[in-house]
Amino acid sequence: MNLQLKLALAAVTLAICTQAGAQITFYEKEGFRGRVFTADTEVSNFQRYGFNDRAASVIVDSGRWEACEDANFAGRCVLLRTGSYDSLSGMGMKDRISSVRPADNIKRYDNEPAGALSSPAYEYRRRPNESTFEANVTSVRAVMGAENKRCWVERQQVNEPSRGSANVGGAILGGILGGVLGHQVGGGRGKDAATVVGALGGGAIGANVGRSSNQTYDRDVQRCETAASGAPAYWDVTYDYRGVEHRLQMNSPPGATIAVNQYGEPRQ
């Protein structure tokens, strides 16, 4: 066997092995939801499988694939590498794919799209050929996000008492009047004592006359209030499947049932 024949056989064998291991899965809705269609070899017309112009997202498990707008690999074609494409809108291929085949390793693609995740992102997505069942939702609890603190500054009128210095004139006048009134009380030493007490009391009262007053002025005052965030951060969901309770966190409230696989794992 000559060298050229050996190289040709090796190339054919490599191509067969590559195509046999390749797999691509199309989803009817964005985010890997809805009906699925899986291929591990070329499909010249999606119409035969009821999936023509229906693909909105795709997961490439292995290999490189050429997806085309028209049957028989005609029209505009794009290259899809291994990874996850949660939407085909960005490359203009949503609801437009009619045929697919393993990409030619020699052919150059000028319109290779970006945006694929580095590895298939299944999470709760339905796997190809996986059966789903309905599980009853038993409770739903909305979990609010972290509290938000809002502060602002507002102008406010403030009344505060102000204490001035002692009223000297009032103290003198008060002392005189107090002494006069005290002098009229009692007699002998009692009258002298009353005069002194009256003078002291009158002076103290007079000193404080006009000393206390309210002062009004404006100043900036900071006000704050705390409130929960407007929307729930997630919903804590409990569901029952075949007598076993399961819990799940969802980013939107569920209906009366959710889809699960045979093990009770949620599927979308």
Q: The domain spanning residue 94 has which CATH number?
A: 2.60.20.10
* pTM: predicted TM-score of the whole model, two decimal places: 0.45
**Same-domain check for residues 49 and 120:** yes
Residue 186's identity, in one-letter code, is: G
Q: Give, in order, the Cα–Cα distances in Å from 122 to each of 128, 132, 135, 191, 265.
A: 11, 15, 20, 106, 12
Beta strands in the chain (DSSP E): 23-29, 33-39, 57-62, 65-70, 74-80, 83-85, 99-102, 133-144, 148-163, 212-227, 232-241, 244-250, 257-260
Is there a single domain that holds both residue 87 and residue 103?
Answer: yes
Smallest CA-to-CA distance from 60 within 21, 12, 98, 30 is with 21
Domain of residue 25, residue span: 3-130
Contact 177, 202 (CB under 8 A): yes
**Can you give the pLDDT at residue 196?**
46
- Across-strand partners of 240? 136, 245
Judge if 138 and 39 occupy the same domain. no
Q: Which of 34, 39, 31 is nearest to 66 (CA)?
A: 39
The answer, yes or no, to whether residue 247 has pLDDT greater than 50, is yes
Q: Is the dihedral of CA 259, 265, 266, 268 positive or negative?
A: negative
Rounded Cα gap, residues 147 and 226, in angstroms: 7
Residues 209 and 248 in one domain: no
For residues 46 and 91, the answer to whether their CB atoms sit within 8 Å is no
Decide if 212 is inside a domain: yes
Band the pLDDT of 121: cuts 50, 70, 90. Answer: low
Same domain, 51 and 105: yes
Residues 77 and 102 placed together within one structural domain of the fold: yes
Q: 116 pLDDT band (50/70/90 cuts)? A: low
pLDDT of 47 over the 90 cut = yes
Residues 220 and 243 in one domain: no
Give pLDDT, residue 14. Answer: 37
Cβ neighbour number for residue 240 with a 10 Å cutoff: 14
DSSP-derived pairing of the beta strands 83-85 and 148-163: unpaired
66 and 90 share one domain: yes
Q: Confirm if 147 and 233 have CB atoms less than 8 A apart.
A: no
Q: Write the CB contacts of 47 (distance below 8 Å, at least 6 apart in sequence).
A: 71, 98
Residue 48 confidence (pLDDT): 93
User: What pLDDT is attached to residue 44?
Assistant: 95
Structure-model confidence comparison of residues 206 and 141, the more confident one: 141
Q: Could you tell me the CA-to-CA distances from 226 to 145, 146, 149, 151, 252 in Å, in that order?
A: 13, 10, 4, 9, 25
* pLDDT band at residue 99 under the 50/70/90 scheme: very high
Report how many domains make up the chain: 3
Judgement on whether residues 193 and 245 belong to the same structural domain of the protein: no
| CA trace torsion 103, 109, 115, 117 (10° rounding) | 30
Instruction: Please provide the average confidence, as pLDDT, over all residues in the chain.
Output: 73
The answer to the question of residue 106 being in a domain is yes
- Asked, for residue 213, whether it belongs to a domain, the answer is yes
- Tell whether 236 and 141 lie within a shared domain: yes
Residue 46 lies in a domain: yes
Query: Does residue 6 surpass a pLDDT of 50?
Result: no
Residues 111 and 40 in one domain: yes
Q: Are residues 194 and 246 in the same domain?
A: no
Given 100, 130, 160, the domain boundary residue is: 130
On whether residue 266 sits in a domain, the answer given is: no
Residue 24 lies in a domain: yes
Asked, for residue 267, whether it belongs to a domain, the answer is no
Please indicate, yes or no, if residue 162 is contained in any of the structural domains: yes
